[in-house]
Amino acid sequence: MKKKRKKTRHCKPKRKPHKASPVQVPEEKKAPASFARRLMGVQDNINTDYVISGRYKFSIQNPQELARHIFEDIDETFVKRLLTGDYLIAGENFGCGSSREQAPLALKAAGIKAVIAQSFARIFYRNSFNIGLTLVECNTKHIDDGDEIELDLERSKVRNISKGLVFDAKALSPLIKKLLLDGGVIEHFKKYGGFSFEAA
C-alpha cells in the first residue's frame, strides 16, 4: 500500500514592511549674515591710497583684480577676513585724498555691501554714489570687527545684532536711494536714457 505523500506547503517569504523614505523638508532660506569688518590699525582719515595703493591704480584696470589688493599697505589680513556682503566700518573722514574712482570701484568689486563711517570726504562720497556703492554716516564707535550688522536704509537705522544696539544713521535722499537702486549714475542713464527721478 502506497503511503500518502504529505503535501508540503511552500511558504512565501514574508514581505518586508515598506520603510518610507525620510521626507526632506527644505530649510527656510535665510539671507547670509553680514558682518562688520574694521581695519586693524587705522580708523580715521583713511585715504584712497590706503584703500588701493597708487602702484595698482594705473597698472590694473579690472576692478575684480583691484579688489584683491584693498588695504594691502595697512592691513594684510583684511581681504582674508572679508566675506561678500560684509560692511566696512571706519571712523571720520573716510576716503580723503585722490579724487579717482578706483577706490570705490575696488571696494564694490570686493563685495562690500556698504561703508559705514562717522564721516566721508566729499569727493569720495560723490564718486561712491556715482558707481552705486552705498555709504552710511553714523556713530561707529561701538561696532567691532566681526559684529553681525543689519542696515535699514528706509528707516535710517544701523543695528548691531551682536551687541543688541541700534544707531541712527544720516538719512539718504530719495534721489540717492534711486541711484543706488539702479546701480549708480551710469546704470541709471542706461535704464532711462538720462536722469529720471519722477519715481523718487
Q: Report DSSP letters for 56-113, one per residue.
A: HHTT---HHHHGGGTTTTT-TTHHHH--TT-EEE--SSBTBS---THHHHHHHHTT--
Query: Which runs of E-coded beta strand occur in the chain?
Result: 34-38, 87-89, 114-117, 134-137, 148-152, 157-160, 165-168
Q: Are residues 81 and 126 in the same domain?
A: yes
User: What pLDDT does 179 receive?
Assistant: 87
Cα–Cα dist 93/117, whole Å: 8
Domain that holds residue 75: 34-169
Q: Are residues 57 and 127 in the same domain?
A: yes
Q: Are residues 158 and 189 in the same domain?
A: no
Q: Are 50 and 73 in contact (CB under 8 A)?
A: yes
Q: Are 167 and 136 in contact (CB under 8 A)?
A: no
Mean pLDDT for each consecutive 10-residue tract of the chain (200 residues)?
52 43 38 85 93 89 94 94 96 92 95 97 94 96 96 96 97 90 83 70
Local structure of residue 117 (DSSP, 8 states): E
Run of H or E including 127: helix 122-131
User: What pLDDT does 32 receive?
Assistant: 60
The domain total for the chain is 2
Q: What is the CATH number of the domain that holds 76?
A: 3.20.19.10
Q: Are residues 55 and 153 in the same domain?
A: yes
Cα Rg, the chain, nearest whole Å: 29
User: What pLDDT does 198 receive?
Assistant: 64
Cα–Cα dist 107/33, whole Å: 19
Sign of the alpha-carbon torsion through 119, 122, 125, 129: positive
Local structure of residue 169 (DSSP, 8 states): B
User: What pLDDT does 165 receive?
Assistant: 97
User: What pLDDT does 20 receive?
Assistant: 38
User: What pLDDT does 26 receive?
Assistant: 37
User: What pLDDT does 6 receive?
Assistant: 53
- Whole-prediction pTM: 0.80
* The amino acid at 131: I
Q: In angstroms, how far is the first alpha carbon of the chain from the final one? A: 110
Q: Are residues 118 and 138 in the same domain?
A: yes
User: What pLDDT does 182 receive?
Assistant: 85
User: What pLDDT does 2 receive?
Assistant: 52
* The amino acid at 153: L
Q: Are residues 192 and 150 in the same domain?
A: no
User: What pLDDT does 197 receive?
Assistant: 67
User: What pLDDT does 184 receive?
Assistant: 84
